[in-house]
Amino acid sequence: MHDAAARFPPMSNPFLSRQFLAFVVTGGIAAAVNFGSRIAYSLWVGYSSAIVLAYLTGMVTAFVLARAFVFRRSAQALHRSALYFTLVNVAAVAQTWLVSMALAYYALPALGITRHTLEIAHAAGVAVPVFTSYLGHRRWSFR
């Protein structure tokens, strides 16, 4: 009888790598910038606009950190990486905005949560695209 491990070699899971861990750490820093800047932007603009502006601020932070610390071996030109990074993040900002708005104005109030709803909703919205963004950046932004 053959050993099952020999017959079925382990699948490569991109979420169980040092690269993904580095992505999560640098993404966490960018998320903190995103979250903090949303609070600051909210002093001048409404919640919805502040989410988008904060996402852009976090996105610039994420690009710089990802290129420097996560995808260092990328052979892709800087302008091409920036273009694909932006496209991947268009999908991610849509995810962030939809989750943040749905939680803040519908789900959390329906659950009876009335304190810090904007902060809770935005934190959840920022966390949602971690996995989809990693795969997109790995495949397109930093080849």
Q: Is 113 exposed, middle or buried (0-12, 13-18, 19+ CB in 10 A)?
A: middle
| Number of Cβ atoms within 10 Å of the Cβ of 122 | 28
pLDDT at 8: 43
Assessment of whether the complete model's pTM goes beyond 0.85: no
10-residue block means of pLDDT along the chain (143 residues)?
Answer: 48 77 92 92 95 90 93 88 92 91 97 95 88 88 87
pLDDT at 1: 47
pLDDT at 16: 75
Handedness of CA 95, 96, 97, 100 (dihedral sign): positive
Q: Could you tell me how far CA 51 lies from the centroid of its own chain?
A: 13
pLDDT at 10: 52
pLDDT at 102: 97
pLDDT at 66: 93
